[in-house]
Structure 1
């Protein structure tokens, strides 16, 4: 029987800051661990543009129990300048593992809660070490999980679809076709992408596709986070408007404060979403363009961008309404002042007649 060479890659991505100074983080981490910047090995330099390549750091490995067996796990982390920390555990598979064992392990991998304490420990230690390089607070409640089945040797009679679905039961033809809609191949490579997992067969061992999928997940996480920020800010805005409406003569001052916060919010969200969208551009490599574009679509990144855009329009409309209210009040005060001045002049004129 032909042996296979493969591993399971467990990703967990966290929002840990508003910004990460990667140059500062690199100096800090290089004192303790090997560090490097993300670089795709198969891509020509001009075919891909990464504004600020993420920083990768090697972590200490560990042993984890999964599906009744103990496996050695290699660990690493990657930092993105827009505030994301991605932690990766690579579980090496025994070359003599049978397909039935692999399928059973795939089911267990989808429910691998035993890894959570290790992920949390790595996250907390890195946040502690990197505090000088972090700007603003993160929100650990926002997490993305992703699983990659990565193989350099893959027996041709093995079926990857049940692995991606985490199912030991028979797979319907309709479900199989749905999964295989997102199958990509180039030369000997084969990639299948789903919402929370991917299958990568690359005899060369290149991690390029895995890196692109991780990047797309990092973008997704931050867009989800800022969509939530807008939800909270809109709720706070409506509460503030209601409070201002009961404020009597203080109402206009409160309106100005609300407008100031709305302007700050619009600038912040516009700047951040622009950075996230433009963080990576694949221009000349058609195969990677297809994979990256498909990943963004599968992860529904465009839907999150549209949701943010809709909420930004609500913010802008409320800003305009408040601005109109203040302008109307200003003109009204000018009109009152003019009337008062005219009345004063008339009174003075009447006094001069006496």
Structure 2
């Protein structure tokens, strides 16, 4: 199983676009927020150590930056803001100070979504730009956080399946002799347990997003999940689950063949013993 700890660091800002671009680039590339957040999370969780069951020593982590702008001079609409400041928004989302190419700018701005004319969300793979009120942006921030938590979930399952499959391959490399096939039953049971657990948990992850009550939130989540890479890792997990299922069937078949051979051998031995007793009795 797995759990997610979310650490949110808020840095208030007030200034012009050039200042925000410089600060954004510094925050994205030069400041190690991830290490600070990890240390903070470990300090907090150490107080609840007695409540944790088999905690992991090594953690997976993802950092994501949200540039939330509440007010802009002139109160432009979303379309006006993209038309007048689209290039700067693209730089903020990428964490770049240098001017971006037209193609890169268009690629970034294609991943934008609005519900009202006055709000805007531009989603990137490691950062997002939000133009909305405090209350209006709350749902978008929560969905971005949830998308990143799902990315961690599928990364965790991907690593878990990778380790389990590596162990199975190592076991198979030792040979498929009689004793090796007999040991496959234990390895097959372990692999099948992992297969069932991961399958169930991935289904829960897929169903969890169904709590969204409106189509806009669902579209926003789908866009965010696609940008951070959730579908890619989900596909990797699905492929490895398919491989695990095929290996499980192969191992069970090998074990069943060995068991059938042993049973047949036992029957032959019993028949030989009976024949020995039979002929031995006649000779007497």
- TM-score, normalised to structure 1's length? 0.70
Identify unmatched segments of 5+ residues in structure 1.
Answer: 1-17, 19-81
Match of residue 5 from structure 2: 85
RMSD, aligned α-carbons:
2.2
Alpha-carbon contact 1:296-1:302 (below 8 Å) kept: yes
What is the deviation of 1:282?
A: 4.3
Match of residue 199 from structure 1: 129
Match of residue 227 from structure 1: 158
SS at match of 2:67: strand
What is the deviation of 1:257?
A: 2.4
Match of residue 20 from structure 2: 102
What is the deviation of 1:275?
A: 2.9
Match of residue 164 from structure 1: 93
Instruction: Report runs of 4+ in structure 1 exceeding 4 Å deviation.
Output: none
Structure 1: distance between partners of 2:121 and 2:6: 21
Pick 1 or 2: higher relative contact order, CA cutoff 8 A, min separation 6.
1
Structure 2 vs 1, CA of residues 224 and 160 (structure 1 numbering), >3 Å: closer, same or farther? same
Identify unmatched segments of 5+ residues in structure 2.
Answer: 77-83
Structure 2: distance between partners of 1:189 and 1:143: 30
From 304, 307, 314, the counterpart of 2:236: 307
Structure 2: distance between partners of 1:121 and 1:344: 71
What is the deviation of 1:319?
A: 1.5
Match of residue 281 from structure 1: 210
From 110, 117, 124, the counterpart of 2:42: 124
- TM-score, normalised to structure 2's length? 0.86
Tell me the number of residue pairs that the alignment of Structure 1 and Structure 2 aligns.
Answer: 270
From 232, 239, 264, the counterpart of 2:170: 239
* Pair 1:178-2:107 in alignment: yes
Structure 2: distance between partners of 1:146 and 1:295: 11
SS at match of 2:263: helix
Post-superposition CA distance 1:183-242 (Å, at most 9, x none): 111112111101011111113533110000100100101111210111122112212233
Task: Choose between structure 1 and 2: higher helix proportion.
Answer: 2
From 98, 118, 133, the counterpart of 2:51: 133
